[in-house]
């Protein structure tokens, strides 16, 4: 038996036989695959899935995503960005400077995403860490949004809590990132190595040397990938690692992430 829902999720409007969820991951398969896994699980409960991605990713997504009707994959056109090949199909194997260009192209997809959401009228859209603009866009349409983080609670509480970056215009340094932020639970995790901290810098530093666009919400406030603005946030419970740090999914790491409530 399907779930009764509606396009704006508020109990009004036309009745539907299924709850309808849009999945909108970042274009790398390290992000796409967890969204596929979540989609397939939701499908097993009779929930309809519409999956957004760029055309080059679609054949590989088809091989794993349950496309039982009415599930569908919806291609997003990649807007022209200077320096970005029109044939780019994913973020796999892209150098860092091209990764930034693909992020710019993603930002320019807002009009087509808004059009699609207006047409589809899903109950909720699950988005990734890069679509900081998605929650207000969905809210404008009366659609709920949920940030599905493919990173663990440990990684999120170490990297993207506001205490990590109290000044939105002053990104943390590598030395800052080697140490846990204020409020981090007392555990055996006491820091990371220099090469790990260097890898994490891409989250915080924009091309102009200032704060990365991902850490600012639409009105310029310090944010964490849209979490304060969205309706819900979901954390993957991985057996993966942040470096070699992530071993479990303890509650105290979730507690530090509750400051937005």
Average pLDDT of every residue of the chain:
75
Strand spans (E) along the chain: 20-24, 48-53, 72-75, 124-127, 144-149, 232-235
186 inside domain: no
Q: Is 123 a catalytic residue?
A: no
Mean pLDDT of 96-111: 84
Q: Determine the Cα–Cα distance for residues 234 and 180; give it in Å rounded to an integer.
A: 22
Write the pLDDT tens digit of every residue in 24-78. Answer: 999 988 889 999 999 999 999 999 999 999 998 999 999 999 999 999 999 999 9
Q: Is 31 a catalytic residue?
A: yes
Write the pLDDT tens digit of every residue in 160-177. Answer: 777 787 776 777 889 999
58 inside domain: yes
Write the pLDDT tens digit of every residue in 210-243. Answer: 455 555 544 334 344 444 444 544 545 544 333 3
More confident residue, 82 or 209: 82
Domain hosting 12: range is 1-150
Write the pLDDT tens digit of every residue in 74-93. Answer: 999 999 988 888 778 777 77
User: How buried is residue 56: exposed, middle or buried, by Cβ count under 10 Å (0-12/13-18/19+)?
Assistant: middle
Write the pLDDT tens digit of every residue in 193-207. Answer: 998 888 787 777 654
Domains contained in the chain, number: 1
156 inside domain: no
CATH number of 77's domain: 3.40.50.2000
Res 100 pLDDT > 70: yes
Q: Does the global pTM surpass 0.75?
A: no
Q: Which of 20, 123, 128, 132 is labelled catalytic? A: 128
Q: DSSP label at 120?
A: H
43 inside domain: yes
């Amino acid at each position: 038996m399907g779930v009764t829902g509606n396009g704006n999720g508020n109990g009004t409007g036309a009745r539907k036989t299924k709850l309808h969820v849009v999945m909108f991951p970042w274009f790398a398969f390290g992000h796409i695959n967890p969204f596929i896994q979540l989609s397939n699980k939701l499908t097993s409960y009779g929930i309809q899935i519409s999956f957004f991605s760029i055309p080059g990713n679609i054949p590989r997504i088809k091989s794993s995503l349950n496309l039982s009707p009415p599930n569908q994959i919806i291609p997003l056109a990649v807007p022209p960005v200077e320096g970005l090949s029109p044939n780019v199909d994913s973020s796999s194997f892209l150098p860092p400077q091209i990764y930034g260009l693909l992020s710019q192209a993603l930002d320019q997809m807002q009009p087509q995403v808004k059009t699609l959401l207006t047409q589809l009228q899903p109950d909720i859209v699950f988005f990734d860490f890069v679509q900081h603009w998605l929650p207000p866009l969905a809210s404008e349409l009366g659609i709920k949004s949920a940030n599905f983080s493919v990173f663990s609670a440990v990684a999120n509480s170490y990297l993207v809590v506001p205490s990590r970056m109290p000044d939105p215009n002053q990104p943390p340094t590598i030395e800052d990132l080697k140490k846990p932020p204020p409020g981090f639970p007392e555990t055996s995790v006491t820091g990371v190595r220099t090469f790990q901290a260097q890898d994490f810098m891409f989250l915080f530093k924009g091309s102009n040397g200032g704060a990365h666009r991902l850490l600012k919400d639409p009105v310029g406030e310090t944010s964490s990938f849209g979490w304060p603005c969205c309706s819900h946030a979901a954390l993957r419970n991985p057996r993966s690692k942040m470096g070699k740090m992530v071993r479990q999914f303890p509650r105290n790491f979730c507690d530090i992430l509750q400051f937005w409530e």
